[in-house]
A and B are shown apart, each in its own frame.
Chain A
Amino acid sequence: MGWKFTEAAFKDLIVKLKADYTILGPKRFVGQGRFSDTDLIRYDEIESLDEIVWNEKSTFSPKEVVFPITQTLFYFIEEKFLEPKLDENKILIFLRPCDINGIRRLDTIHLRNGPQSDSYYAQLRERVRFVMMECMEGFDTCFCVSMKSNITSDYDMAVRFGDDEVLAEVKNDDFTRYFSLDLPRVEFTPGFVQENTIKVTVPDGGEISAGIYNHDMWNEYKSRCIACGRCNTTCITCSCHTTTDIFYDDNMRAGERRRTWACCHVDGFTDMAGGISFRKDNGSRMRFKVLHKIYDYNKRFGEHMCVGCGRCDDNCPEYISYSSCINRLSQVIQETDACVKIP
């Protein structure tokens, strides 16, 4: 069962929820897009329902809410250190099923990859609740169905935006105290995309032979990719970061430890002491990313990292299509029989 909100009633719900929650959603920044006279849509705190852009895909994913682009872990001065004060508000994010599934991948990496979970991630993540925005059709670059990430049940509330009403499934009973229970009840459970225009065949369940690593197909990306990193920064599942100690200009005995997103496509990602670095050509960076998204993460955790949100395809300035690359890889594996099936 669900609830039928008039637009006004749902606006009121958001106002009431804001007393206890910081609410974030895909928001339009007019005229602040990359090109002149274009808009930017990215996640940010919203003040009212009107600000939620639910019928377009955001350029950037909601990952920056749970995994900030820049995060100060602690401040240090002489021998002492201090962790930043935590905002105690709970966080509510309006997002699509693919992104909810994407955040589950971020959880896996930060909380279940190795013996030590990431406490900085954990303390932010545990404050987060999801409002799933129903997504029945997706967009022209989406391939969530192929990646099996079109469906989720991990949300406190699911909503369908209509012209002047909002249908909602409320799974978290705590939410019912924020709206009138006299609202009309309706049969509503959210639907999910059943088919995307883009279909991706993922090489599944097999061991990829070394031949694939050196295959000629990656060479094309040596010249096509410009290593800008947009596929990484817009990806909901890219979770690499780099940690730096910053010493303040005015007093070098004080500073902070900070972590910042890092991108496997961008120069410097593999820099090591002694001036050593790996994957210097952009073709091998493409190979590294693609195989991580649809091969080695799966080997370790039993599902693919990529959720098929298609943001990498939307944002590549060189029109490199990652989804086309996966299909090509599958074809190469089939043709060369380079994939040895493991039962």
Chain B
Amino acid sequence: MAHDVNTKTAVKNAYRITKVRGKTALRIRIPGGCLHAKHFDLLKHLAEVYGDGLVHLTTRQGLEISGLDYAGIPEINRLIMPLLQDLEIGIGVEIHDPAKGYPSAGTRNIAACIGSRVCPFANYDTTSLAQRIEKEIYPNDYHVKVALTGCPNDCIKARMNDFGIVGMVEPQYDYQRCIGCEACVKNCASQVTGALSMHKGKVKRDKRRCIGCGECILKCPTAAWTRNPAKFYDILIMGRTGKKNPRIAEEFIQWADEDVVVQVIKNTYKFIDEHIDKSLPKEHIGYIVDRTGYPVFRDKVLEGVKLNSGARVAKHVQWGGCRYSSDVFLSD
């Protein structure tokens, strides 16, 4: 059977060109990885009636329904309207014609750990922030990966993303309430960065070492350590996987507030517009920054951004990462 499929259109519409001739797979975006159980009925219907009965959990917390016919795309797009309505339009994303399915797929689903709705370690509601960022950047088609994690444990592996947003909390210390039990100090030394030390029965915090994880607050039996209710974030940039130079993201802005996070990610699209190599079918943001250098990226994405007091911007960024080398092996 002859297929006449515009693969460019299909891919932009969130359908994958699969290894099975004539069959495609649809990626459902789930910003923040949080899905209302009511949608399972529709997903089951799609997979069983139009696909091969399987639903794959994607690495970025989406769902991929495989074994679909290319010819069925228009009908499937109409069927998934309730998902677009609830998961995209419902959170403020502008989609002009929801009956035509996803308008783009380059900017990947925003992944997030379960966050403060459930996890005691999380320093913010990752689902809500994922939805806010989705609203600001989708449906852009540039290849950008954003992941949000509630604390530096980084369960979502935000460091493998172009933007990894790590929750920070500023611990506030009440000297009078401290009983010197050392729970925070011992824990910080063994689990974190050793930013706390005992001094005459009380605790000292080295601000430069503190990464704002909030473990001291969790451990304190007297609420001598409490939360500054304001939310802060560590913005990590340009981590990636891939065949060329996989690497973990490094710190860009520490102690940023939420508006700074959102504006920086938004401005990144202007930076891409200016610097992307237009001769290529697509170019990954990290490699664009490699070409321009960090200062060019920094200055562009900070344009018009009002940095909150306390936010610290990296002077230099030194990415490491691995490069595949043929020199390391004992034999050819």
Query: How far apart sit A266 and B181, CA to CA, in the bound complex (Å)?
Result: 7
The answer to the question of A194 belonging to the interface, with a C-beta cut-off of 8 Å to chain B, is no
Q: Is A258 in contact with B181, judged by CB distance below 8 angstroms?
A: no
Query: How far apart sit A150 and B167, CA to CA, in the bound complex (Å)?
Result: 44
Q: Enumerate chain B residues within 8 angstroms of A30, measured Cβ to Cβ.
A: 229
Of the candidate stretches A16-24, A228-236, A320-328, the one touching chain B is: A228-236
Shortest CB-to-CB span from B84 to chain A, Å, is 29
The answer to the question of A36 belonging to the interface, with a C-beta cut-off of 8 Å to chain B, is yes
Q: Enumerate chain B residues within 8 angstroms of A34, measured Cβ to Cβ.
A: 120, 217-218, 223
**Cβ contact of B169, chosen from A36, A60, A229, A232, cutoff 8 A:** A36
Query: Provided the pairs A31-B229, A36-B116 are in contact, do residues A59 and B176 lie with their beta carbons within 8 angstroms?
Result: no
Q: Is A32 in contact with B229, judged by CB distance below 8 angstroms?
A: yes
The answer to the question of A29 belonging to the interface, with a C-beta cut-off of 8 Å to chain B, is yes
The answer to the question of B125 belonging to the interface, with a C-beta cut-off of 8 Å to chain A, is yes
The answer to the question of A260 belonging to the interface, with a C-beta cut-off of 8 Å to chain B, is yes
Q: Is B221 in contact with A40, judged by CB distance below 8 angstroms?
A: no
The answer to the question of B175 belonging to the interface, with a C-beta cut-off of 8 Å to chain A, is yes
Q: Enumerate chain A residues within 8 angstroms of B122, measured Cβ to Cβ.
A: 36
Q: Enumerate chain A residues within 8 angstroms of B180, measured Cβ to Cβ.
A: 260
Query: How far apart sit A262 and B120, CA to CA, in the bound complex (Å)?
Result: 26
Q: Enumerate chain B residues within 8 angstroms of A70, measured Cβ to Cβ.
A: 175-179
Query: Provided the pairs A70-B176, A260-B201 are in contact, do residues A232 and B123 lie with their beta carbons within 8 angstroms?
Result: no
The answer to the question of B23 belonging to the interface, with a C-beta cut-off of 8 Å to chain A, is no
Shortest CB-to-CB span from B4 to chain A, Å, is 53
Nearest chain B residue, comparing its CB with the CB of A60: B223
Q: Give B211-228 interface residues, CB cut-off 8 Å to A.
A: 214, 217-219, 221-224, 226-227
Q: Enumerate chain B residues within 8 angstroms of A60, measured Cβ to Cβ.
A: 222-223
**Cβ contact of A42, chosen from B124, B223, B229, cutoff 8 A:** B223
The answer to the question of A203 belonging to the interface, with a C-beta cut-off of 8 Å to chain B, is no
Query: Provided the pairs A34-B217, A261-B179, A263-B179 are in contact, do residues A69 and B227 lie with their beta carbons within 8 angstroms?
Result: no
Q: Enumerate chain A residues within 8 angstroms of B214, measured Cβ to Cβ.
A: 36
Nearest chain B residue, comparing its CB with the CB of A261: B179
**Candidate in B116, B200, B221, B224 with the most chain A CB atoms within 10 angstroms:** B221
Q: Give B4-39 interface residues, CB cut-off 8 Å to A.
A: none
Q: Is B123 in contact with A233, judged by CB distance below 8 angstroms?
A: no
Q: Is B125 in contact with A233, judged by CB distance below 8 angstroms?
A: no
Q: Enumerate chain A residues within 8 angstroms of B224, measured Cβ to Cβ.
A: 69
Instruction: Map CB proximity to B onto A243-255 as digits: 1 under 8 Å, 0 otherwise.
Output: 0101100000000
Q: Enumerate chain A residues within 8 angstroms of B176, measured Cβ to Cβ.
A: 68-70
Q: Enumerate chain B residues within 8 angstroms of A258, measured Cβ to Cβ.
A: 201
Query: How far apart sit A31 and B179, CA to CA, in the bound complex (Å)?
Result: 23
The answer to the question of B54 belonging to the interface, with a C-beta cut-off of 8 Å to chain A, is no
Please, how many residues of chain B have a CB less than 8 angstroms from a CB on the other chain?
32
The answer to the question of B183 belonging to the interface, with a C-beta cut-off of 8 Å to chain A, is yes
Instruction: Map CB proximity to B onto A29-54 as digits: 1 under 8 Å, 0 otherwise.
Output: 11111111100101000000000000
Query: How far apart sit A35 and B167, CA to CA, in the bound complex (Å)?
Result: 13
Query: How far apart sit A247 and B122, CA to CA, in the bound complex (Å)?
Result: 39
Q: Is A228 in contact with B223, judged by CB distance below 8 angstroms?
A: no
Shortest CB-to-CB span from A235 to chain B, Å, is 11
**Cβ contact of A263, chosen from B120, B150, B181, cutoff 8 A:** B181
Query: How far apart sit A268 and B201, CA to CA, in the bound complex (Å)?
Result: 12
Q: Is B221 in contact with A233, judged by CB distance below 8 angstroms?
A: yes
Interface of chain B, main secondary structure: loop
Query: How far apart sit A36 and B178, CA to CA, in the bound complex (Å)?
Result: 21
Shortest CB-to-CB span from A16 to chain B, Å, is 29
Query: How far apart sit A34 and B226, CA to CA, in the bound complex (Å)?
Result: 7
Query: How far apart sit A250 and B27, CA to CA, in the bound complex (Å)?
Result: 66
Query: How far apart sit A233 and B223, CA to CA, in the bound complex (Å)?
Result: 10
Q: Is B179 in contact with A262, judged by CB distance below 8 angstroms?
A: yes
Q: Is A37 in contact with B116, judged by CB distance below 8 angstroms?
A: yes
Shortest CB-to-CB span from A231 to chain B, Å, is 9
Query: How far apart sit A70 and B219, CA to CA, in the bound complex (Å)?
Result: 19
**Candidate in B120, B169, B227 with the most chain A CB atoms within 10 angstroms:** B227
Q: Is A229 in contact with B181, judged by CB distance below 8 angstroms?
A: yes
Q: Give B124-155 interface residues, CB cut-off 8 Å to A.
A: 124-125, 150
Shortest CB-to-CB span from A20 to chain B, Å, is 25
Instruction: Map CB proximity to A onto B159-190 as digits: 1 under 8 Å, 0 otherwise.
Output: 00000000101001001111111110000000
Shortest CB-to-CB span from B304 to chain A, Å, is 29
Query: Provided the pairs A35-B120, A36-B116 are in contact, do residues A260 and B226 lie with their beta carbons within 8 angstroms?
Result: no
Shortest CB-to-CB span from A313 to chain B, Å, is 15
Nearest chain A residue, comparing its CB with the CB of B218: A34
Q: Is A246 in contact with B200, judged by CB distance below 8 angstroms?
A: yes
Nearest chain A residue, comparing its CB with the CB of B214: A36
Q: Enumerate chain B residues within 8 angstroms of A260, measured Cβ to Cβ.
A: 178-180, 201
Q: Enumerate chain A residues within 8 angstroms of B221, measured Cβ to Cβ.
A: 228-230, 232-233, 263, 266
Q: Is A233 in contact with B179, judged by CB distance below 8 angstroms?
A: yes
A–B Cβ pairs within 8 angstroms, 19 of them: A29-B226, A31-B229, A32-B223, A34-B217, A35-B116, A36-B124, A36-B125, A36-B167, A36-B214, A40-B226, A59-B223, A69-B176, A69-B179, A69-B222, A244-B201, A246-B201, A258-B201, A267-B181, A268-B182
- CB-CB nearest 6 A-B residue pairs: A31-B229, A36-B116, A32-B226, A229-B221, A233-B221, A230-B221
Q: A37-B125, A247-B200 are in contact. List 8 more A-B contacts (CB 8 A).
A: A31-B229, A34-B223, A60-B222, A69-B177, A70-B179, A229-B183, A261-B179, A261-B222
Residues of B within 8 A of A (CB): 116, 120, 122-125, 150, 167, 169, 172, 175-183, 200-201, 214, 217-219, 221-224, 226-227, 229
